[in-house]
């Protein structure tokens, strides 16, 4: 376990795989009539609650500061609440596997943001790996969803907003990471903040009856909470070990899991071009991982004026 906790590639595979499970769980929930905003709330409340319990059992507690509160709510909005709302809204129209492919665009956008802000510049091999992955993502995107069921361009556009929000979150969390704060504490605070934002939106826009459909999918709720709790514990550790650009590679793993889960268990069907794109994306992951191994596991870069404000 200690080896996994310190291994960038191990954390990448585990985190990406658990993230990918969110896609089939989300499709099952929305197909049962659970609103997208409610399912996003389930993930944040479930993950935040389970991780908070784990934190308390270890004899630790969250020490709130103005800096941490800012970090929790900004992270909650751009990393969890908004992209999850987009994702679960798009899945019924695009399919779980296709929506997962949108995650693969996050590394490219993260790289652009990272270069513009001076947070990190990967080596040439790393850029080549991301470029290869991007080519695969473009091929998949052109197929517009399941075979014989091309999605409306509106939903494709909604899907494309997912990686933009995720990329912004990748950069923000590294730039403004509160000093001396562990990954579990950050996961707890950010998810409970996300749950707070989402429940306010649900009550204001949908009303309390929006929670009723959850009673029809209890096992899906349990499975989603368990996978999300584990995923976010590893997620923040991967952020610390690998940095924002490497962290964004979890989208490649999640997309592969979403494609296979959608095909094997949810009856989704995709064109040959979709699978070709997925194979190219996988090649991009291996290249980027090789580049990471060449440079070693980097430490997150801090921009002190932002990181030290409280």
| CB distance 162 to 86 below 8 Å | yes
Write the DSSP assignment of 276-293 as a string of letters. HHHHHHHHHHHHHHHHHH
The pLDDT score that the predictor gives to residue 231 is 85
The pLDDT score that the predictor gives to residue 299 is 39
Question: Tokens 């949908």 sit at which residue?
Answer: 206
Contacts of 15 (CB under 8 A, 6+ apart): 231, 234, 235, 238, 250, 253
User: How does residue 301 score in pLDDT terms, banded at 50, 70 and 90?
Assistant: very low
* Whole-number Å distance between alpha carbons of 266 and 29: 12
Q: What is the largest CA-CA distance in the chain?
A: 54
Give the residue among 109, 98, 89 at the shortest CA–CA distance from 36. 89
Mean pLDDT (the chain, rounded): 82
Counts for the chain of helices (H) and strands (E), in that order:
14, 0
**From residue 213, how far is each of 34, 62, 153, 184, 208 by CA, in Å?**
5, 33, 29, 30, 11
User: How does residue 265 score in pLDDT terms, banded at 50, 70 and 90?
Assistant: confident
| CB distance 273 to 142 below 8 Å | yes
Q: How many CB atoms lie within 10 A of CB 196?
A: 18
* Whole-number Å distance between alpha carbons of 82 and 77: 6
The pLDDT score that the predictor gives to residue 293 is 62
- Expressed in percent and rounded to 5, the helix, strand and coil fractions of the chain are 80, 0, 20
Q: Where are the domains of the chain?
A: 2-307
pTM: 0.79
């Amino acid at each position: 376990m200690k080896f996994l906790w310190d291994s960038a590639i191990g954390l990448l595979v585990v985190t990406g795989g658990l993230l990918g499970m969110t896609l089939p769980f989300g499709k099952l929930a929305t197909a049962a009539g659970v609103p997208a905003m409610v399912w996003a709330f389930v993930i944040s409340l479930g993950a935040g609650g389970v991780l908070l319990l784990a934190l308390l059992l270890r004899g630790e507690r969250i020490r709130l500061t103005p800096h941490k509160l800012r970090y929790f709510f900004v992270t909650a909005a751009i990393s969890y609440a908004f992209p999850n709302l987009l994702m679960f809204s798009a899945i019924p129209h695009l399919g779980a596997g296709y929506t997962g492919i949108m995650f693969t665009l996050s590394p490219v956008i993260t790289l652009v943001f990272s270069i513009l802000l001076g947070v990190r510049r990967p080596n040439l091999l790393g850029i080549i790996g991301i470029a290869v992955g991007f080519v695969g993502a473009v091929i998949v995107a052109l197929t517009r969803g399941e075979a014989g069921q091309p999605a409306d361009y509106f939903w494709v556009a909604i899907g494309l907003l997912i990686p933009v929000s995720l990329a912004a979150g990748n950069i923000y969390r590294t730039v403004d990471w509160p000093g001396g704060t562990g990954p579990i504490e950050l996961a707890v605070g950010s998810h409970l903040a996300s749950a707070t934002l989402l429940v306010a939106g649900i009550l204001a826009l949908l009303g309390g009856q929006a929670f009723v459909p959850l009673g029809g999918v209890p096992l899906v709720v349990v499975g989603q909470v368990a996978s999300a709790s584990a995923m976010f514990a590893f997620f923040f550790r991967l952020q610390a070990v690998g940095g924002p650009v490497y962290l964004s590679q979890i989208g490649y793993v999640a997309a592969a899991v979403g494609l296979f889960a959608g095909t094997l268990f949810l009856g989704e069907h995709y064109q040959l071009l979709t699978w070709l794109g997925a194979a190219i994306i996988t090649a991009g992951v291996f290249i980027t991982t090789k580049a990471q191994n060449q440079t070693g596991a980097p430490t997150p870069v801090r921009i002190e004026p932002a990181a030290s404000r409280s």
